[in-house]
Amino acid sequence: MEKKLKFGIPKGSLEKATIELFEKAGWTIEVHHRNYFPEVDDCELEMVICRPQEMSKYVELGILDAGITGKDWILENNSKVVVVEDLIYSKVSKKPARWVLAVKEGSGIERLEDLAGKKISTELVQFTKRFFEERGIPVEVSYSWGATEAKVVQGLCDAIVEVTETGTTIRAHGLKIIYELLITYPQLIANEKAWEDPWKRKKIQQIAVLLKGALNSHKKVGLKMNVPASNLEKIIAILPSITSPTIAQLYNKDWYAIEVIVSEKEVRDLVPKLLELGAEGIIEYSLNKVI
């Protein structure tokens, strides 16, 4: 029988971003309507879509060999899994999301201690309970089934612990953030027994390297150019690079070819300077992976 690695893709807000990341890393995943078992162009992989809130439980139990889920849900479930790689991306941006404590403007609550004896509503119940217990602050934490921000406005609780990337929705409901509890981002996790299996570990590590490489290429481009030998040192001095630029002498010994990786934002300022120093044939190209 062919060896298979059972891998979990998070359903919901991260699903599209995760599938796009895999595609950039080299795997094509096709999701069919209402089907939780997408097709992937790798005979060694079996993909399963499941809720990120449950992913770490399935990986811990060995139902899945590996998967991607938020750091927040791993902590919420207190799951014993191997964290293989941090993958900082989200549904909106490539920035990590935050679980924050928010209260109604004008409530008089300014510090954590002001919540003693108060009610907090959140999806992250167990983590929030542990957070306040560790600080010796007695609070009542209840599970929120959605529309969490509205519960403070309606007076159903005194504060919420909610996830946000920008804070826009929280502010739109007349709330203010008074504390940041946790920075969260997707993590590639593995079952402990699967990690001990040499073949599965190698496959998981291969996925981790390529996904990380795809993330590293975000908003980066490659630049190629020909530069005159007379200005080589001046051009090298203004070039940003991960290590150092690749330089090769051309057939014409008075010229060199240079290749470098830079951020997209740097290009607009960099190209005019390169032209002033005599660079020619400047080519900009997109990147899939930086490993």
Does 95 score more than 80 pLDDT?
Answer: no
Does 184 score more than 60 pLDDT?
Answer: yes
* Three state DSSP letters for 123-185: CCHHHHHHHHHHCCCCCEEEECCCCHHHHHHCCCCCEEEEEECCCHHHHHCCEEEEEEEEEEC
Q: Please tell me the pTM assigned to this model.
A: 0.84
186 band by pLDDT with thresholds 50, 70 and 90: very high
Residues forming a β-bridge with 46: 6
CA distances from 44 to 39, 40, 202, 253, 276 (A): 12, 9, 12, 50, 52
User: Which percentage of the chain shows pLDDT scores above 90?
Assistant: 78
Does 118 score more than 90 pLDDT?
Answer: yes
The C-alpha atoms of residue 220 and residue 22 are separated, in whole angstroms, by 18
Does 40 score more than 70 pLDDT?
Answer: yes
60 band by pLDDT with thresholds 50, 70 and 90: very high
Does 283 score more than 90 pLDDT?
Answer: yes
Question: Which pLDDT score, from 0 to 100, does residue 158 have?
Answer: 96
- 47, containing H or E segment: strand 45-50
Which residues 6+ apart lie within 8 Å of 185 measured at CB? Answer: 70, 71, 86, 87, 88, 89, 90, 96, 97
Does 289 score more than 80 pLDDT?
Answer: yes
Nearest in space to 287 (alpha carbons), one of 222, 243, 242, 224 = 222
Question: Which pLDDT score, from 0 to 100, does residue 267 have?
Answer: 92
What average pLDDT does the chain have?
A: 93
2 band by pLDDT with thresholds 50, 70 and 90: confident
Question: Which pLDDT score, from 0 to 100, does residue 219 have?
Answer: 83
User: Are the beta carbons of 269 and 279 closer than 8 angstroms?
Assistant: no
Q: In the chain, what's the furthest Cα-to-Cα distance?
A: 79
236-270 pLDDT, tens digit per residue, is 999 986 667 899 999 888 999 999 999 888 999 99
Nearest in space to 223 (alpha carbons), one of 178, 138, 286 = 286
R_g (Cα) of the chain, nearest Å: 24
Does 94 score more than 80 pLDDT?
Answer: no
The C-alpha atoms of residue 193 and residue 208 are separated, in whole angstroms, by 18
Can you tell me the mean pLDDT for 31-56? 93
